[in-house]
Amino acid sequence: MSKQVALTGIKPTGMPHLGNYLGAIKPALELAEKYDARYFIADYHSLNTIKDPEMLRNYTYEIAACWLACGLDPSKTLIYRQSDVPETFELTTMIMAFTTKGLMNRAHAYKAQVDVNKEKGKPEDHNINMGLYTYPVLMAADILLFDTNYVPVGKDQVQHIEMAVDIAEAVNRAYNKELLTLPKPVVSESTQVVIGLDGRKMSKSYDNTIALFLPEKKLKKLCNKIVTNSQAVEEVKDPETCNVFTLYKLFATEEEQASLAAKYRAGGMGWGEAKAELFRVLNETISPMRDKYDSLMEDKAYIDKVLADGAERARELAKAKIALLRRTMGFELHSNN
Ligand code: TRP
């Protein structure tokens, strides 16, 4: 039996942050060891919000370089741009006919925008384009096109995968066969616990993120900005309620954690010292990947080549799937199917 398929996409809307790395990129790369992995750059999803071509191009390179720098091996894992696989958009149109408007009305991302509008006293549909409204359909097409079994994602994306299942079931029911594989979300435990500078969940919408590949100096500066209480140096401190320590735990070894926790509890350690220690372990983890990232961003021709290879292989798979669907749905005239 051939290996099961794991697939995920990242929208190019800015450099991934530590939360994205621990919650999405790292677990996805672990899954790639076991499954036939297909990881792509969801650039058409970005078009909903990014209309500056230079920016979109640059973010696309950033995401590609991030995947590669974090350890994606393009000889084993398929990496491609969504926009290089036009079969995605044909499948999107096909499944539109199987997607109820009511299902889209329930999508969290769309509802969140409606709530923002209501709060601001604007009309419900203000700032909502059809790309946002039908976002889950395009995402379902991404997934269903490649017979995906597993989709490593953050918790916020689980609803979208459930919608992909609903849509796939509607198609399968209509033609009375297993045309489309039903995907399952794989949610990493750590997504829930990556906090940002202010102690809330690390998220671009809270403006509290630490981008993955910052120059060392900037990383240090951000570590110093992490919110702590106002206890004085000599006071005894509680590591378990401290934002600095919460982040530290995600990157430090057991021994390092025990030793820093002891310093908290002994008193005599200022926040500056704890933050410097957090910076040290963070930087140690990130440095080798950052070096790789920086050199990749200097060699766009290499990234272009990797993406072109990926596109070719992805399209081969996609074309076969679309051909089957076309045949089944009656778009191929004179077929005996
Ligand atoms: N919606 C995902 C996000 O915002 C990105 C994405 C697009 C995706 N298509 C996908 C993720 C398909 C998994 C599978 O993070």
- Residues 160-183: pLDDT tens digits? 999 999 999 999 999 999 999 999
Signed CA dihedral, 160, 163, 165, 167: sign only? negative
Q: Where are the beta strands (DSSP E) in 116-182?
A: 150-153
Q: For residue 156, name the pLDDT band (cuts at 50, 70, 90).
A: confident
- Mean pLDDT, range 305-334, rounded to an integer: 96
pLDDT at position 108 is: 92
Q: For residue 333, name the pLDDT band (cuts at 50, 70, 90).
A: confident
312 CA to centre of ligand 1 in angstroms: 21
Separation CA 303–CA 62 (nearest Å): 10
Check whether 224 has a pLDDT greater than 90: yes
pLDDT at position 335 is: 57
Ligand 1 pocket mutation, candidates 13, 132, 153, criterion most atoms within 8 A of CB: 153
Q: Distance between alpha carbon 232 and the CA centroid of its chain, in Å?
A: 39
Q: For residue 30, name the pLDDT band (cuts at 50, 70, 90).
A: very high
Check: CB of residue 80 under 8 Å from CB of residue 312.
no
- Mean pLDDT, range 146-162, rounded to an integer: 94
Query: pTM score, two decimals?
Result: 0.93
Long-range (24+ apart) CB contacts under 8 A made by 315-322 are 315/84, 315/85, 315/87, 317/145, 317/146, 318/85, 318/87, 318/88, 318/145, 318/146, 319/87, 321/87, 321/91, 321/145, 321/146, 321/147, 322/87, 322/90, 322/91, 322/145
Instruction: Determine if ligand 1 sits within 6 Å of the CB of residue 143.
Output: yes
224 CA to centre of ligand 1 in angstroms: 32
- Mean pLDDT, range 56-69, rounded to an integer: 98
262 CA to centre of ligand 1 in angstroms: 41
Q: Beta 78-81 vs 5-10: how paired, if at all?
A: unpaired
Measured from the Cβ of residue 221, the count of other Cβ atoms closer than 10 Å reads: 12
Instruction: Determine if ligand 1 sits within 6 Å of the CB of residue 157.
Output: yes
C-alpha distances (whole Å) from 285 to each of 136, 289, 303 are 35, 8, 23
Per-residue pLDDT of 203-217, as tens digits, reads 888 999 999 999 999
User: To which residue do tokens 């919460």 refer?
Assistant: 246
Mean pLDDT value across the chain: 95
